[in-house]
Amino acid sequence: MIERKRLSPFMLTAGILAVDQATKALVVRNIPYNSIAVSFFGDFLRIIHERNKGAAFSIGHGFPDAVRFIIFSIIPIIVIGWLIYYIYTAKELSQRDRWILAGIAGGGMGNIIDRLFRADGVVDFIDVKFYGIFGMERWPTFNIADASVVVCGILFVLCMVFSPKEKNQ
């Protein structure tokens, strides 16, 4: 029973990874690079095809290839490997925390796969209007993996701050 509880969150990891890679493959196959395929709600939400060789907000896009490879591939592989080990072995994690961290791992793995196997960088395709907030007319384009990391990261912080510690191994 304990084994199943510790392994079951990895279904979320696999699901996020599968949806992320499937949507990216659809974008690459069906939408020409740097073009808008469809808009929803006026121009609030657009599906486009962009690539990012950097991290969030294209940070590090101009770094030399070797530096980008170490910072955005090797280090994240080590961190996600450690995270997966931690999700499985940590006795202090609640089941809820395991699921949330598994969502972060799935998103991280989705972008690492792109960095390793897509020479042009991570495929981004979700483009949202931001109405000039923080001086940005549009939020930087993102993908399912990015959304998973951000949403699960926010959930994890909120749970750590506002929830009593559960002991649910």
Catalytic residue status for 146:
yes
Catalytic residue status for 124:
yes
- Of the residues 20, 97, 114, 146, only one is catalytic, namely 146
Q: 36 vs 42, 66, 111, 131, 143, CA distance in Å?
A: 13, 31, 21, 19, 15
- Of the residues 20, 114, 124, 127, only one is catalytic, namely 124
Name the residues annotated as catalytic.
Answer: 124, 146
